[in-house]
A and B are shown apart, each in its own frame.
Chain A
Amino acid sequence: MTIVPICPAPVMQHETVQMAHGAGGRLSQTLMQRVFMPHLHNAFLDLLDDQAKLDLPPGRTAFSTDTYVVSPVFFPGGNIGELAVNGTVNDLAVGGAKPLYLSAGFVLEEGFSLAELEDIVKSMAEAARRAGVMIVTGDTKVVGKGQCDRIFINTSGIGIIREGVNLSCRNLKVSDSIILSGTVGDHGMAIMTSREGLSFQSRITSDCAALNGMISTILDEVPFAIHAMRDPTRGGVAATLNELASSSSVGIEIHETTIPVKPDVRGACELLGIDPLHVANEGKLVVAVAAGDAERVLEVMRALDLGRDAVIIGSVVDDHPGMVVMRTVYGSRRIIDLPLGEQLPRIC
C-alpha cells in the first residue's frame, strides 16, 4: 500500500479579505467571481481584458476622477460604493456631459468583511444602473491591516458634452440668479451624527444621488441660459459659492431666509454649533442661470423629485468681487467664507 502524503490545501473559502486576494492569483480570481462579477457584469467587464475598448459617440469628451475614503463606510442613506458612482457621475454632469462609462479601483484593507464588500459592490451596480452608466473596467489591491481604513474607492468617468453647451465656473455674469436644488447639510450631518462619541441617535440620512437626470432635463429646457453648475460636496454650499465667485471674479449675495434645511439637520447643526452652509452634500445642485430664465429653471427642477425644494437663494453682483456675502434677516451682512477644514462640533 502506498501512503500518499496529503498536503493541506490552502483555504479557499474566506469571510474576510486576505492579502492573497490582491496578488493576482487564484484567490484574486475567486474574489472577482464571488463578489464582483455577479453584480457588475456587462459586455465590457465580462471580457476580463486589461482595458475596456470603447466606441465613443461624437462630441467633446469630459473626463473626471475622484477617490472616496469616507468613514463610516456604511452610513444612513448610503455607503461608500454608491457615493463613488454618484460622485463621478455628478462631476461629469455638471460640466454638461452625459456620463457614459466609469472605472472603479479598490484598495481593500486585509480583514475587511467580504459580505460588506459585496453589499458595497451591489450598491455600486444599482447606482450605475439608475444613473444609466456602465462600470467597464476596474482594479483591486489589498493592503495590510491598518494600512487603509477598510476600503478606499477611486472612480473615473467619461462622458460626452452636450453640443453647444458651455458650463464653467468662470462663466457667471452679474445679475445671474443662483438656484439651490434642495436642503443643505444632509450628507455631512448623517455622517457626523452616526460617528461615535457624539451621543446622537439621529436618523438623518445622506442625500447621496445621481444628478445627471435632473441636469439633462434642465439643459433640455434652457440649454444656453445656464452659465455654471456645481454639486456642493466637501465644504458645503459655502465652498461652492466661493469657488464660483472667485473663478468668475464676481460677487455673490445670498439671503439667509431662503436656505432650505431639514428640521432634524438644523437641530443637529444647532446642537453641535455647525453652520449648515459649511456641511457636505452629495445630491444637491447649485445653478447659476441668466436672471430672465431663473423662474423657468425653478419650475423644471421643482417638477422633479431631486429638485422639489429648489429655490433661488441669491444673485451675482458686481460688489465685492470674489466674495460671497449673506444678507441676514435683520438687514445686516456677513461674509460667507471658505470653511477652514473639517467641521468641528463646538461647545462655545
Chain B
Amino acid sequence: MLTPMKYIDEYRNPELARKLLNEIRRKAAHHWTIMEICGGQTHSIIRNGIDQLLPDTIELVHGPGCPVCVTPLESIERALAIAAREEVIFTSFGDMLRVPGNYRDLFMIRSAGGDVRIVFSPLDALQIARDNPAKEVVFFAVGFETTAPANAMAVWQAAREGIENFSVLVSQVMVPPAMRAILSSPGNRVQGFLAAGHVCAVMGYEEYEPVAREFQVPIVPTGFEPVELLAGILKTVELLEEGKAEVVNCYGRVVSRAGNPVAQETIHNVFEVTDRQWRGIGLIPGSGLGLRESYARFDAEKRFNVTNIFAEESPFCMSGSVLQGKLKPDGCPAFAKECTPQHPLGATMVSSEGACAAYYKYHLDTP
C-alpha cells in the first residue's frame, strides 16, 4: 500500500530484481568475492535479503563502510570527555550516540547531565551555537566523503559569520585509501568492489581508475536500492568474467566521472588530507581529513585539550577482520554470545550499519 516515491520505488521493482538475479546466475560461471564499502549499501543488502537471493557463486563481503564503526576508540573517548563538560552542548548525528567507548556512550553522558543533542545537519548545530552564545557548541563531524561537504560548510560558515563558540571534532575518513589497504593486505580475497554511490556523487569516480589498474580489480559505482545493487553486482560479475579491471558507473543519475566540483572545492578549502586510525584496522596513511591551519581555531581537539585519553578494545572483538572482509560476523566466536546489539563488544555490533549488527538483526539462523 505504499504510494510510489519517485527515484526510489522504481528501483525496488521486484520483477526487475528477479530478472537481474537470473542474469547474475547465468553470467557467474566462477566463484567471485565482491565487497561493498558503504554502510548504507550493507544495510540495504541485508534488509532486503540480497545476499540470500544471490547464487552461491557470488560472495558478498561487507567492508569498512560505516564511519561510525571505524571511528577510533580514542575519538569516541575524546567526544565523551568533551560532552561531559558543563559549558559544552555536544551535537552529533544520531548514529554516534550508542557507540561505546571503553565503557560508556553519549547516551550515558546525557543521562549523567551532559547536554547532548541529536542534529540532522551540521547547520542545525551551527544554529544551536547562534542560539546559545554563552555555551560552547561542539559538533561531532563524522563521515565519509559524502558528509565532508556538509561538515566543511558548517566550519566555513562559522568562520564567515564569526561564530566563535562553535567547534568541530573531526573524524572524517576516505574510501580509496581503505580500498588500497584492503587490496594490499595479505590474505585479501576481494576481487571486485561496489563503490559507494553517494561518496562518488561528491568525489566522482576518476580516483578509482588508478586503483582498478594497479590492483587489477573492477570497481562499480552503485546505488542503494535493491535493483541498483543487483545491477551493480551484475556489472561487476560481467567485468570479472571478462577479465576487465575497469571502473564502470552504474549509478548514472547522480554519479559523474568528475563528481561535484563545488563540493570538492569547499572540502579542499576547509580540510587537508591526514593519516587516520581506523577502528579495528589500524593506521591507514592519507585516509582521513583534518582541519586546515586557517580553520584550526574551530578544532575541538585543540580547543578542549582533552588529555589522558586511553582506549582499550575488548580482546574478544574481531571487528577489524570483519571490516576487512576476512571474517563473516557469525565466524566470530563471540558473535551472538558475549557480543550482541544489547551488549556490543565493538563498533560493528553497535552501529545498525555494522556488519555484525546487521547480520544479527536480519539473519534467521541467529539463535
Q: What residues of chain A have their CB less than 8 Å away from a CB belonging to chain B?
A: 196-200, 257-261, 263, 266-267, 270, 272, 309, 311, 320, 325, 328-335, 337, 340-341, 344-348
Contact = CB atoms under 8 A, between A and B. Distances in A.
Interface string B140-171: 00010001000000000000000000000000
A263 B46 CA distance: 24
B39 A261 contact: no
A199 B47 contact: no
Q: Could you tell me the dominant secondary structure of chain A's interface residues?
A: loop
Contacts of A328: 48-49
B194 interface: no
14 contacts: A198-B119, A198-B120, A199-B121, A266-B5, A328-B48, A328-B49, A329-B12, A341-B107, A345-B118, A346-B93, A347-B93, A348-B39, A348-B68, A348-B351
B143 A347 contact: yes
Contacts of A347: 93-95, 143, 147
Contacts of B363: 335
Interface residues of B, number: 52
B320 interface: no
B67 interface: yes
A251 to B, nearest CB: 11
B47 A334 contact: yes
B262 interface: no
A345 B1 CA distance: 24
Contacts of B49: 328, 330-334
B8 interface: yes
B181 interface: no
Contacts of B40: 348
B341 A340 contact: yes
Contacts of B118: 197-198, 344-345
A332 B143 contact: no
A335 B120 contact: no
A260 B3 CA distance: 9
Interface string B305-329: 0000000000000000000000000
B366 interface: yes
B98 interface: yes
B95 A198 contact: no
Contact of A337 (B48, B107, B361): B361
Given A270-B5, A325-B364, A330-B53, A197 B352 contact: no
B50 interface: yes
B128 A197 contact: yes
A325 B52 CA distance: 14
Contacts of A348: 39-40, 43, 66-68, 93, 95, 351-353
Given A346-B94, A348-B40, A334 B46 contact: yes
Nearest to B14: A329
B1 A330 contact: no
Nearest to A261: B2
Contacts of A346: 93-95, 352-353
Given A197-B120, A344-B98, A331 B1 contact: no
